[in-house]
Structure 1
C-alpha cells in the first residue's frame, strides 16, 4: 500500500475537470461508437463468436456494425465490456494462445475464462490476463 502511495506522490496532479471534459467527448469519438466497436469485434472474433458472447443474435450485431441499428444502454455496455476483454487478450497473447487460454482451466479464476466471462463479465478475466502476463 505504501508503494502505491509513493507512486501517486510522484505523479503530477490530474485535473478532474480535464478528465471529465475529455470523457464527455468520448461518446462521439469515431473509435468508440457502437458501430466501430461492433465492427472491431466482428473483425477480431467473427460474428458467430461475438454475437453469443454479447448475448445477441448475429443479425442484430451485423445491424449494429452497419449502423442500421443502435444498441440500447445495456448493449453499449456489453460491447464495451467485450471490447476491453479482446483488447487485453490481444495485448497479452497471440490469437492461438488467446483461444487456448480462454478455453482452458485457469487456476486464478477456478474455471475456464470463457465461462467466467459469460457469468461475471470481463473484470475478473482481465484480472487473470494481467496476472498471467505478469507471471503469476
Structure 2
C-alpha cells in the first residue's frame, strides 16, 4: 500500500528545455497570436470596452484584429493579460455576473476589480476570482 501511495505521489519530470521548446512554437500557434487574441477580445467584450482596457483606440484594436497592424511587445503583453482575465471571468461567472463582480467593491482587492485591473493588471484580479470560486456559496 505504501508503495502505491509513493508511486502516486511522484510526478513525471518536466524539464525546462521541454517547456521552453514548446513555448517557442506558441507565438505563431493559431489562437495565441495577437490577431487571434484581439479578435477574441473584440468578440467577447466588444471593441468599445476592450480598447480602453488595453489603453488603445478602437481603430488600433481593429487593425490588430484584422492583421493590418501588429502590436509591439507591450501591446502583445496587454492583449495576453486581458485575454487571461476574460478567460477566468468566463470560467467563473455568467456575462451578467462578471460585469457586476468587476464593477462592485471587492474586500480582498480593496477596490473594484476593474480599477485594480487598470492599475495593477490581471494577476490580483485573477487571484480574487479564484478565491471567489473556492468560497462556499
Structure 1 length normalisation: TM-score?
A: 0.92
The aligned residue for residue 59 of structure 1 is 59
**Partners of 2:89 and 2:26 in 1: CA distance:** 23
What secondary structure sits across from 2:31 in the alignment?
Answer: helix
RMSD: 1.3
Structure 2 alignment gaps of length 5 or more: 1-8
- Mapping of residues 116-135 of structure 1, within 5 Å: 116-135=116-135
Structure 1 position 71 matched with structure 2 position 81 = no
**Partners of 2:109 and 2:78 in 1: CA distance:** 21
The aligned residue for residue 5 of structure 1 is none
Aligned residue pairs total: 129
Structure 2 length normalisation: TM-score?
A: 0.91
The aligned residue for residue 36 of structure 2 is 36
Q: By how many angstroms is 1:30 displaced?
A: 1.0
Q: By how many angstroms is 1:103 displaced?
A: 0.3
**Partners of 2:44 and 2:11 in 1: CA distance:** 35
The aligned residue for residue 94 of structure 1 is 94
**Partners of 1:91 and 1:11 in 2: CA distance:** 27
Q: By how many angstroms is 1:10 displaced?
A: 2.9
CA-to-aligned-CA distance 1:36-78 (integer Å, 9 cap, x gap): 0000000000000000000000000000000000000000000
**Partners of 1:132 and 1:101 in 2: CA distance:** 10
**Partners of 2:30 and 2:120 in 1: CA distance:** 28
The aligned residue for residue 20 of structure 1 is 20
**Partners of 1:107 and 1:13 in 2: CA distance:** 39
Structure 1 alignment gaps of length 5 or more: 1-8
Runs of 4+, deviation exceeding 3 Å: none
